[in-house]
Amino acid sequence: MMRVGICYSSFARELGGGSRFESEVTLGLANQANDQFEFHLISDKPNPRFEIPNIEIPHAQLMTRRRLIAEKLRLVGPLETQSSVTNRTLKQQGIDLLYSPHPGTVSLDMPYVVTCWDLQHRMQPFFPEVSTVGWDWDSRELTYQRVLRRAAAVVTGTEQGKKEIELFFGVHPDRISVIPFAVSSDLLQCVAVKPKWAPNNRFVVYPSQFWPHKNHVTIVLALRALKQNFGLDITAVFPGSANLDASCTREYVESMARDAGVSVVFPGFIQDEELRWLYENGEALVFASLFGPDNLPPIEAMSLKCPVVASNVPGAEEQLGDTALLVTPTDELAMASAIHQVMSNTETRRGLIERGTCLTNRLSMKRYTSDLLSLFGHLAKYRRCWPSQRKSSTGTLCNHVS
């Protein structure tokens, strides 16, 4: 049996979709433990949501995006100094393989599988949030150079993502696994609750943090164009935390909305029950992000039968196909036209909902974790070539044959 350690960073929910993804993948793997794999959580403390053993690694030693953003530290020191204690702990616990549902790991010195969400610091390095703010350009570059190149496998959501990993960091394509993102089961299982601040008129929704690349500005300008060109006066709801908004993006967007004379609601971070209500009652999700190659909110919205207008960034057509109206994300007139089409054309709206439902029915978390287990099984045939560090009941080193 292979013992797999799941590197769990405990992202705060306010940090965005990465938190939900990490939590649900971890839970999905924990629920699929079998006679081939035994899962252990690697975190700073046990998490009651996951009924698997916990191996405590202080966050001071966890190489995670959460830590880097929160503390604004470069990686050179931690990568150089933390490894010996961590490696000793992992070996004592008999971990054979590490898996990270995020772009980090707790050790570079044992086989690991890492998830790469995007490489936008290479694609669009001029944005402050990937160059000078928080997890800056140099930190990202060093992280990816060391973590991606030494990984036993890199998991990404699209062929576009795979292409970028090969291009920018020279990872052999055989070590890159494309597993499309899964739909959030938390959203599907919760009960919708209407927020007290819900708009009284028709509205579109865009849940995201207030980073510049999220491109709230173009939605504001599209609302103005809707009013001027189509006579539609609607509201945009922008849920999301501004806790890390060093660029003052939220204040900037609020100011632009006032100047444009359009209605925008800024509720801050909201709970899943409120987000579900917004998806189920909104005219559309307008996903304006300038970053790709794939994103979670569009498939979340589709799973709840909310039509989607989305940015046509590299990878979007591969991920979404004809299930969304794809627009140039910097063109507010095209965005306004797409929103108008969803709101006014019944056939367009029905078609988007039907095709979106068909797509998201295939994107279950069970399917995602099953694909991960297949990858782990493939790697197990290589890992069995040397013994585990854990001891059997007779005191000998364990093998990997179940």
342: its two tokens? 């969803």
Pairwise CA distance, residues 161 & 181, whole Å:
12
Helix axes 332-344, 216-230, angle to 10 degrees: 60
pLDDT at 394 over 60: no
Least confident of 1-15, 35-49, 115-129, 191-205: 1-15
Note the pLDDT of residue 35: 85
pLDDT on residue 390: 66
**Separation in Å, CA 341 to CA 217, 224, 238, 290, 337:** 20, 16, 21, 22, 6
CA gap 190, 131 in Å, rounded: 37
Whether the Cβ atoms of residue 113 and residue 155 lie closer than 8 Å to each other: yes
| pLDDT single digits (tens) 99-136 | 999 888 888 999 999 999 999 999 999 999 999 877 88
The length of the chain is 402
402 CB contacts (<8 Å, ≥6 apart)?
A: 1, 35, 36
pLDDT tens per residue, range 335-354: 999 999 999 999 999 999 99
pTM: 0.90
The answer, yes or no, to whether residue 370 has pLDDT greater than 50, is yes
Residue 177: in which H helix or E strand, if any? strand 176-178
Q: How far apart are CA 363 and CA 323, in angstroms?
A: 13
Question: What pLDDT, in 10s, does the model give residues 36-72?
Answer: 999 999 987 777 778 788 887 765 445 444 454 444 4
Domains of the chain: 2-182+364-383 (3.40.50.2000), 189-361 (3.40.50.2000)
Which residues are 340's β-sheet partners? none
Is residue 343 within a helix (H) or strand (E), and if so which, with residue range?
A: helix 332-344
Percent of the chain at pLDDT exceeding 70: 87
Cis amide leading into 207 (omega within 30): no
| C-beta of residue 284 within 8 angstroms of C-beta of residue 339 | yes
